[in-house]
Amino acid sequence: MTVWRALAGRGYLGSAWPWRAVAYLASGALFGAVVLVVIVSGAVAGGVLAVVLVGLPLLVLTALAGIPVAAVERRRLRLAGAGPMPPGQHRVPDRPGLAAWLVVRLGEAATWRELAYAVLLGVVLWPLDAAAVAGGAVLPLSMVAAPALVAVDGEAKVAKLWLVDSWPGAFAVAGLGLVLLAAGAYALGAVAGARAELARALLAGKDSDRVTELVRSRVRLVDAFEAERRRIERDLHDGAQQRVVALTMTLGLARLDAPPGRLADQLATAHREAERALAELRELIHGIHPKVLTDYGLEAAVADAADRSPVPVDVDLELPERLPRPVESAAYFVVCEALANVARHSGAGRAEVSGGYGDGRLVLRVRDDGRGGADARGGTGLTGLADRVSVLDGRLSLSSPPGGPTLLRVEIPCRPSPMEDPCG
C-alpha cells in the first residue's frame, strides 16, 4: 500500500494516510534543513582548514555524509508507504580496517550518488516539503482556528494578509479552512507520494551497480568453493589416506604372523577391503582436486587426465608458466568432463586436447572423431562448467554436428601468475 494507492481508495480522509503524508513531508523538511547546515558547515570549515591539512579529514567526512542521509531517507520512505527498499549498493571491503573501508567507499559510485542526493535534499527538496506542509496543513488549520482566535484576541489574521474581526467572517473562514483542509489532505498525499517516488528513484541506484556486485560475489563464491575443495583434498590426503595406508600395512604384517586358518582368512579379507578402500580414497581425492594440478599446473594435469582416459588421447598443450588457480581448475575440469563425455557418448576411437596461451587468454580445444550430436544443454555436466568458465569471463563453445567430429573450445582471459603460496 502506498499513499498514492490510498488516495484513490475510499475513506482516505478518515485513514492514517493524511497524517503519514504530513509526517513524511514535515520530517523531510526538518531533516533537510539539518542536512543543509551540516553539509555547508562541513564543506566550509573543511575548505578553510584544508590549507593546514586538518580540514582534509573533515572534507572526507562531508563527502561521506550522503551515506547516513540516504539511510535515513530510505527509512523515512516507510512513512509514505513505499515498499521495503534495498539498502544502498555499497560494497563490502575485502580487508578489515578503516583505510580499506574508506578506499572502497570513496571509490564507488553509490557514495557520490548519495552525496548528490543529500545536497539536493538540503538545497531544493526540504524547502518544497516545508512549503507543501505550510500550504496543505498549516494554512487550513490556521483558518479553522479563526473563530477561536476571534474569541480570544477579537481578531484573527489569516495567512498574515487577511484580517477577520467579525463572528460571521470568522466562521466563514473556518468553513473555508475545513474545505481547504480536506483538499490539502489530498494534495499532501499526492505530494508525499511524488516526493517518495523521487527519493526512491534517486536512491535506488543503477542496475549496473547491482550487476557488478553480483558478478563480484559470484567470483568470490567460486574462489571460496575452489579453496574449500583444495582444503578437503589436503585434509583427506594428510589424514585419512595416511591412516588407511598404515592400516593396510599393519594388516599385511599381521597376515604374516597369523597361523593358517580362519583368522588368517579373515585377516586376508580385512586386508583386501582396506586396500580397496585405499584405492577408492585415492580416486576420490583425485576427483576432488588433483594434486598434480596444484603441484605441476594445468599442462601436467591435462596429460594426467589424458592418461586416465579409456579412449586414447593425444595432448598438444604448451603453457609458458602457471596460470591463476581458478583458471587452471576451471580449464582442467572442462577437459576432464569433455574426455569423460568422449568416452561415454561419442563412440570415438581417438581424441585430441590442444591449446596454448596467447594474447592474454588461455585457449583449449578438445576434439574427437566420434559420431557427434552432443548437446551442451543435454545434462552432460558441461552446463555447470560453462557457468564456471563464464564467472572467469571465459567462453565455452561446442560444435558437434551429427556424424561428428565434436569440437569443444574453451577460452579464458587471464594473466600468467607466479607460483602462489602452495598452502593457500
Q: Which is nearer to other proteins, 85 or 292 (CB)?
A: 292
Letters for 244-263 (x = contact with other proteins by CB under 8 A, - = none) are -xx-xxxxxx-xx-------
| Contact partners, residue 222, CB within 8 Å, separation at least 6 | 326, 388, 391, 392
Residue 241 is a binding residue for other proteins (CB under 8 A): yes
Q: Which is nearer to other proteins, 145 or 300 (CB)?
A: 300
Q: Single out the residue of 91, 157, 200, 237 in contact with other proteins (rule: CB under 8 A).
A: 237
Shortest distance, CB of residue 295 to other proteins, whole angstroms?
5
Residues 374, 375, 376, 378, Cα dihedral to 10°: -120
Stretch 80-119 residues interacting with other proteins (CB under 8 A): none
User: Which one-letter DSSP state was computed for residue 124?
Assistant: I
d(CA 209, CA 91): 10
Shortest distance, CB of residue 44 to other proteins, whole angstroms?
59
Residue 349 is a binding residue for other proteins (CB under 8 A): no
Candidates 113-121, 166-174, 267-275, 319-327; binding stretch for other proteins (CB under 8 A): 267-275
Burial of 9 (0-12, 13-18, 19+ CB in 10 A): exposed
Candidates 6-14, 29-37, 116-124, 289-297; binding stretch for other proteins (CB under 8 A): 289-297
Segment (H or E) for 243: helix 240-257
Q: Single out the residue of 48, 116, 198, 279 in contact with other proteins (rule: CB under 8 A).
A: 279
Residue 232 is a binding residue for other proteins (CB under 8 A): no
Task: Map grid coordinates 489530498 to a residue.
Answer: 186
Residue 406 is a binding residue for other proteins (CB under 8 A): no
Q: Which is nearer to other proteins, 170 or 317 (CB)?
A: 317
Task: Map grid coordinates 547491482 to a residue.
Answer: 210
d(CA 145, CA 177): 8
Q: Which is nearer to other proteins, 272 or 415 (CB)?
A: 272
In 289-343, alpha helices (H):
291-296, 298-308, 325-341
Backbone angles phi, psi at 399, to 5 degrees: -120, 120
Q: Which is nearer to other proteins, 38 or 277 (CB)?
A: 277
Residue 207 is a binding residue for other proteins (CB under 8 A): no
Residue 219 is a binding residue for other proteins (CB under 8 A): no
Percent helix, strand and coil across the chain, each to the nearest 5: 65, 10, 25
**323-327: which pairs have CB atoms within 8 A and are 24 or more residues apart?**
323/297, 323/298, 323/357, 323/362, 323/414, 323/416, 323/417, 324/414, 324/415, 324/417, 325/226, 325/417, 325/420, 326/222, 326/223, 326/226, 326/391, 326/392, 327/362, 327/392, 327/394, 327/412, 327/414
Residue 235 is a binding residue for other proteins (CB under 8 A): no
Stretch 297-316 residues interacting with other proteins (CB under 8 A): 300, 303-304, 306-310, 312-313
d(CA 166, CA 168): 6
Q: Which is nearer to other proteins, 27 or 241 (CB)?
A: 241
Residue 285 is a binding residue for other proteins (CB under 8 A): yes
Question: Half-sphere exposure of 137 toward its Cβ, with a 13 Å CA cutoff?
Answer: 19
Q: Single out the residue of 91, 200, 229, 286 in contact with other proteins (rule: CB under 8 A).
A: 286
Shortest distance, CB of residue 316 to other proteins, whole angstroms?
13
Residue 291 is a binding residue for other proteins (CB under 8 A): yes
Residues found near other proteins in the complex (CB under 8 A): 237-238, 241-243, 245-246, 248-253, 255-256, 271, 274-275, 278-279, 282, 285-286, 290-292, 295-296, 300, 303-304, 306-310, 312-313, 422-423
